Amino acid sequence: MNRSMKNALEMSGIYLIVLIMFAVILYPLVWAFSMSLNPGTSLFALKLIPDNLSLEHYQWLFTNPRSNYLLWYKNTMIVAVANGLASVSIISILAYVFSRFRFIGRKNSIYTFLLLQMFPVLMGMVAIYLLLNTVNLLDTFTGLILIYVFGGLPMNLFLVKGYLDTIPRDLDESAKMDGAGYMTIFFRILIPLAAPIIAVVALFTFMAPFFDFLTPQIIIRSPEKFTLAVGLYNFINDKFANNFTIFAAGTILIAIPIAVVFLLLQRFLISGLGDGATKG
Protein backbone atom coordinates (compact mmCIF):
# COMPACT_ATOMS: atom_id res chain seq x y z
CA MET A 1 0.00 0.00 0.00
CA ASN A 2 1.53 3.29 -1.11
CA ARG A 3 1.55 6.43 1.00
CA SER A 4 -1.25 8.20 -0.90
CA MET A 5 -3.65 5.29 -0.39
CA LYS A 6 -2.71 5.13 3.27
CA ASN A 7 -3.40 8.86 3.69
CA ALA A 8 -6.71 8.49 1.86
CA LEU A 9 -7.77 5.65 4.18
CA GLU A 10 -6.75 7.66 7.25
CA MET A 11 -8.74 10.69 6.09
CA SER A 12 -11.74 8.47 5.28
CA GLY A 13 -11.58 7.01 8.78
CA ILE A 14 -11.41 10.49 10.31
CA TYR A 15 -14.39 11.72 8.29
CA LEU A 16 -16.32 8.57 9.18
CA ILE A 17 -15.73 9.17 12.90
CA VAL A 18 -16.78 12.82 12.53
CA LEU A 19 -19.95 11.83 10.67
CA ILE A 20 -20.83 9.29 13.36
CA MET A 21 -20.31 11.94 16.04
CA PHE A 22 -22.52 14.40 14.16
CA ALA A 23 -25.22 11.73 13.76
CA VAL A 24 -25.16 10.87 17.46
CA ILE A 25 -25.40 14.57 18.40
CA LEU A 26 -27.93 15.65 15.80
CA TYR A 27 -30.32 12.68 16.01
CA PRO A 28 -31.86 13.60 19.40
CA LEU A 29 -31.93 17.29 18.42
CA VAL A 30 -33.80 16.56 15.21
CA TRP A 31 -36.27 14.37 17.10
CA ALA A 32 -36.81 17.04 19.76
CA PHE A 33 -37.48 19.71 17.12
CA SER A 34 -39.78 17.32 15.25
CA MET A 35 -41.66 16.50 18.47
CA SER A 36 -42.25 20.19 19.09
CA LEU A 37 -43.95 20.48 15.68
CA ASN A 38 -46.11 17.37 16.03
CA PRO A 39 -49.75 18.05 16.94
CA GLY A 40 -51.15 16.27 19.99
CA THR A 41 -49.33 15.08 23.10
CA SER A 42 -48.94 11.32 22.68
CA LEU A 43 -45.36 10.08 22.61
CA PHE A 44 -46.20 6.99 20.57
CA ALA A 45 -47.98 8.88 17.79
CA LEU A 46 -45.00 11.09 17.01
CA LYS A 47 -43.35 11.10 13.60
CA LEU A 48 -39.90 12.31 12.60
CA ILE A 49 -41.54 14.22 9.73
CA PRO A 50 -44.98 15.36 10.98
CA ASP A 51 -47.94 15.09 8.61
CA ASN A 52 -49.24 18.45 9.80
CA LEU A 53 -46.65 20.87 11.07
CA SER A 54 -47.97 22.88 13.99
CA LEU A 55 -46.69 25.69 16.21
CA GLU A 56 -49.47 25.19 18.73
CA HIS A 57 -47.09 23.99 21.45
CA TYR A 58 -44.93 27.10 21.21
CA GLN A 59 -48.08 29.22 21.29
CA TRP A 60 -49.32 27.31 24.33
CA LEU A 61 -46.09 28.03 26.24
CA PHE A 62 -46.48 31.79 25.78
CA THR A 63 -50.23 32.30 25.87
CA ASN A 64 -51.88 29.61 27.98
CA PRO A 65 -52.78 30.80 31.53
CA ARG A 66 -51.66 27.42 32.93
CA SER A 67 -48.17 27.89 31.51
CA ASN A 68 -45.51 29.42 33.75
CA TYR A 69 -42.87 29.05 31.04
CA LEU A 70 -41.96 32.73 30.83
CA LEU A 71 -41.64 32.92 34.61
CA TRP A 72 -39.34 29.88 34.63
CA TYR A 73 -37.36 31.40 31.79
CA LYS A 74 -36.91 34.64 33.72
CA ASN A 75 -35.86 32.74 36.86
CA THR A 76 -33.28 30.74 34.93
CA MET A 77 -31.89 33.84 33.23
CA ILE A 78 -31.47 35.57 36.60
CA VAL A 79 -29.60 32.60 38.04
CA ALA A 80 -27.52 32.05 34.88
CA VAL A 81 -26.41 35.68 34.52
CA ALA A 82 -25.63 36.01 38.23
CA ASN A 83 -23.73 32.72 38.20
CA GLY A 84 -21.72 33.72 35.15
CA LEU A 85 -20.78 37.17 36.45
CA ALA A 86 -19.99 36.04 40.00
CA SER A 87 -18.01 33.00 38.85
CA VAL A 88 -15.90 34.94 36.36
CA SER A 89 -15.17 37.70 38.89
CA ILE A 90 -14.23 35.42 41.79
CA ILE A 91 -12.30 32.89 39.72
CA SER A 92 -10.31 35.54 37.83
CA ILE A 93 -9.15 37.21 41.04
CA LEU A 94 -8.32 33.93 42.80
CA ALA A 95 -6.48 32.62 39.73
CA TYR A 96 -4.43 35.82 39.60
CA VAL A 97 -3.51 35.49 43.27
CA PHE A 98 -2.51 31.81 43.00
CA SER A 99 -0.63 32.35 39.75
CA ARG A 100 1.35 35.50 40.55
CA PHE A 101 1.81 35.58 44.33
CA ARG A 102 3.75 33.33 46.70
CA PHE A 103 2.32 32.95 50.20
CA ILE A 104 2.18 30.43 53.03
CA GLY A 105 -0.23 27.61 52.29
CA ARG A 106 -0.43 28.35 48.56
CA LYS A 107 0.58 24.89 47.39
CA ASN A 108 -1.60 23.13 49.97
CA SER A 109 -4.56 25.30 48.94
CA ILE A 110 -4.12 24.29 45.31
CA TYR A 111 -3.98 20.62 46.26
CA THR A 112 -7.09 21.09 48.39
CA PHE A 113 -8.97 22.60 45.45
CA LEU A 114 -7.94 19.69 43.26
CA LEU A 115 -9.00 17.21 45.92
CA LEU A 116 -12.38 18.88 46.31
CA GLN A 117 -12.95 18.62 42.57
CA MET A 118 -12.86 14.83 42.88
CA PHE A 119 -16.11 14.89 44.84
CA PRO A 120 -19.36 16.00 43.19
CA VAL A 121 -21.44 18.75 44.77
CA LEU A 122 -24.35 16.34 45.18
CA MET A 123 -22.29 14.26 47.61
CA GLY A 124 -22.54 17.06 50.15
CA MET A 125 -26.06 18.14 49.23
CA VAL A 126 -27.51 17.11 52.59
CA ALA A 127 -24.97 19.29 54.43
CA ILE A 128 -25.53 22.13 51.95
CA TYR A 129 -29.29 21.82 52.41
CA LEU A 130 -28.96 22.07 56.18
CA LEU A 131 -26.53 24.99 55.91
CA LEU A 132 -28.83 26.95 53.59
CA ASN A 133 -31.74 26.23 55.88
CA THR A 134 -29.74 27.53 58.87
CA VAL A 135 -28.89 30.84 57.15
CA ASN A 136 -32.41 31.20 55.66
CA LEU A 137 -31.23 30.82 52.06
CA LEU A 138 -33.25 27.72 51.28
CA ASP A 139 -35.79 28.22 48.50
CA THR A 140 -34.00 31.37 47.32
CA PHE A 141 -32.13 32.30 44.17
CA THR A 142 -29.22 33.49 46.32
CA GLY A 143 -28.73 30.05 47.83
CA LEU A 144 -28.95 28.39 44.41
CA ILE A 145 -26.45 30.83 42.89
CA LEU A 146 -23.99 30.29 45.75
CA ILE A 147 -24.07 26.53 45.13
CA TYR A 148 -23.38 27.01 41.43
CA VAL A 149 -20.58 29.52 41.99
CA PHE A 150 -18.67 27.63 44.66
CA GLY A 151 -19.53 24.18 43.33
CA GLY A 152 -17.76 24.91 40.06
CA LEU A 153 -14.98 27.00 41.58
CA PRO A 154 -12.24 24.32 42.00
CA MET A 155 -12.16 23.15 38.37
CA ASN A 156 -12.63 26.62 36.86
CA LEU A 157 -9.96 28.06 39.15
CA PHE A 158 -7.54 25.34 38.09
CA LEU A 159 -8.24 26.05 34.39
CA VAL A 160 -7.79 29.83 34.65
CA LYS A 161 -4.72 29.56 36.88
CA GLY A 162 -3.11 27.15 34.44
CA TYR A 163 -3.75 29.59 31.61
CA LEU A 164 -2.31 32.54 33.56
CA ASP A 165 0.79 30.48 34.34
CA THR A 166 1.53 30.36 30.59
CA ILE A 167 1.64 34.18 30.37
CA PRO A 168 5.26 35.34 30.84
CA ARG A 169 6.00 37.10 34.11
CA ASP A 170 8.26 39.46 32.20
CA LEU A 171 5.13 41.37 31.21
CA ASP A 172 4.36 41.95 34.88
CA GLU A 173 7.89 43.11 35.61
CA SER A 174 7.89 45.48 32.66
CA ALA A 175 4.60 46.97 33.78
CA LYS A 176 5.93 47.41 37.33
CA MET A 177 8.96 49.26 35.99
CA ASP A 178 6.53 51.63 34.25
CA GLY A 179 4.77 52.29 37.53
CA ALA A 180 1.80 49.95 37.17
CA GLY A 181 0.27 48.49 40.33
CA TYR A 182 -1.12 45.03 40.86
CA MET A 183 -4.66 45.96 39.87
CA THR A 184 -3.45 47.73 36.74
CA ILE A 185 -1.46 44.66 35.73
CA PHE A 186 -4.48 42.47 36.42
CA PHE A 187 -7.03 44.51 34.47
CA ARG A 188 -4.85 45.99 31.71
CA ILE A 189 -2.52 43.09 30.93
CA LEU A 190 -3.60 39.69 32.29
CA ILE A 191 -7.36 39.93 31.75
CA PRO A 192 -7.08 40.82 28.03
CA LEU A 193 -4.53 38.05 27.49
CA ALA A 194 -6.63 35.53 29.43
CA ALA A 195 -9.85 36.48 27.61
CA PRO A 196 -10.18 33.08 25.82
CA ILE A 197 -10.20 30.98 29.01
CA ILE A 198 -12.37 33.53 30.81
CA ALA A 199 -14.83 33.33 27.92
CA VAL A 200 -14.93 29.54 28.30
CA VAL A 201 -15.64 29.84 32.02
CA ALA A 202 -18.32 32.46 31.37
CA LEU A 203 -20.03 30.26 28.78
CA PHE A 204 -20.00 27.11 30.91
CA THR A 205 -21.17 28.85 34.08
CA PHE A 206 -23.95 30.59 32.15
CA MET A 207 -25.10 27.29 30.65
CA ALA A 208 -25.12 25.32 33.91
CA PRO A 209 -28.47 26.53 35.36
CA PHE A 210 -30.26 25.80 32.07
CA PHE A 211 -29.33 22.11 32.14
CA ASP A 212 -29.14 21.31 35.84
CA PHE A 213 -32.19 19.60 37.32
CA LEU A 214 -31.16 17.98 40.60
CA THR A 215 -29.75 21.04 42.41
CA PRO A 216 -32.77 23.36 41.92
CA GLN A 217 -35.11 20.42 42.51
CA ILE A 218 -33.58 20.02 45.98
CA ILE A 219 -33.09 23.69 46.88
CA ILE A 220 -36.12 25.39 45.30
CA ARG A 221 -39.53 24.47 46.73
CA SER A 222 -41.84 27.24 45.50
CA PRO A 223 -43.33 26.68 42.00
CA GLU A 224 -43.00 30.38 41.17
CA LYS A 225 -39.21 30.07 41.69
CA PHE A 226 -38.69 27.00 39.51
CA THR A 227 -35.97 27.08 36.87
CA LEU A 228 -36.62 25.76 33.36
CA ALA A 229 -35.24 22.29 34.05
CA VAL A 230 -37.55 21.78 37.04
CA GLY A 231 -40.54 23.47 35.45
CA LEU A 232 -40.31 21.55 32.18
CA TYR A 233 -40.12 18.28 34.08
CA ASN A 234 -43.73 18.87 35.08
CA PHE A 235 -44.75 18.48 31.45
CA ILE A 236 -43.66 14.85 31.34
CA ASN A 237 -44.99 13.61 34.66
CA ASP A 238 -48.51 12.59 35.61
CA LYS A 239 -49.52 16.07 36.71
CA PHE A 240 -49.63 17.36 33.14
CA ALA A 241 -50.57 14.04 31.48
CA ASN A 242 -47.21 13.45 29.77
CA ASN A 243 -47.09 16.37 27.36
CA PHE A 244 -43.88 15.37 25.61
CA THR A 245 -44.54 17.65 22.65
CA ILE A 246 -44.85 20.74 24.85
CA PHE A 247 -41.77 19.60 26.76
CA ALA A 248 -39.86 19.39 23.46
CA ALA A 249 -40.97 22.89 22.44
CA GLY A 250 -39.78 24.27 25.77
CA THR A 251 -36.38 22.58 25.52
CA ILE A 252 -35.80 23.86 21.98
CA LEU A 253 -36.25 27.46 23.13
CA ILE A 254 -33.57 26.98 25.79
CA ALA A 255 -30.96 27.09 23.04
CA ILE A 256 -31.68 30.75 22.20
CA PRO A 257 -29.88 32.55 25.08
CA ILE A 258 -27.03 30.03 25.03
CA ALA A 259 -26.53 30.61 21.29
CA VAL A 260 -26.58 34.38 21.84
CA VAL A 261 -23.93 34.19 24.58
CA PHE A 262 -21.82 31.86 22.43
CA LEU A 263 -21.94 34.29 19.51
CA LEU A 264 -20.98 37.18 21.78
CA LEU A 265 -17.99 35.25 23.13
CA GLN A 266 -17.07 33.62 19.83
CA ARG A 267 -14.31 36.06 18.90
CA PHE A 268 -12.55 35.41 22.22
CA LEU A 269 -12.80 31.65 21.77
CA ILE A 270 -11.50 31.80 18.20
CA SER A 271 -8.67 34.12 19.21
CA GLY A 272 -7.72 31.59 21.88
CA LEU A 273 -7.51 28.82 19.29
CA GLY A 274 -5.42 31.04 17.05
CA ASP A 275 -3.07 31.96 19.88
CA GLY A 276 -2.70 28.31 20.80
CA ALA A 277 -1.80 27.41 17.21
CA THR A 278 0.73 30.25 17.08
CA LYS A 279 2.32 29.21 20.35
CA GLY A 280 2.51 25.64 19.14
Mean pLDDT value across the chain: 85
The predicted-structure confidence for 194-222, as pLDDT tens digits, reads as follows 999 999 999 999 999 999 998 999 999 89
Q: What is the pLDDT of residue 238?
A: 57
Q: Give percent above pLDDT 90 in the chain.
A: 36
The predicted-structure confidence for 169-198, as pLDDT tens digits, reads as follows 888 888 888 888 888 999 988 999 999 999
Q: What is the pLDDT of residue 87?
A: 95
Q: What is the pLDDT of residue 248?
A: 87
The predicted-structure confidence for 246-274, as pLDDT tens digits, reads as follows 888 899 999 999 999 999 988 887 765 44
Banded pLDDT at 43 (limits 50, 70, 90): low
- Residues 158, 98: Cα–Cα separation, whole Å: 10
Q: Domain 67-279 in CATH: superfamily?
A: MetI-like (1.10.3720.10)
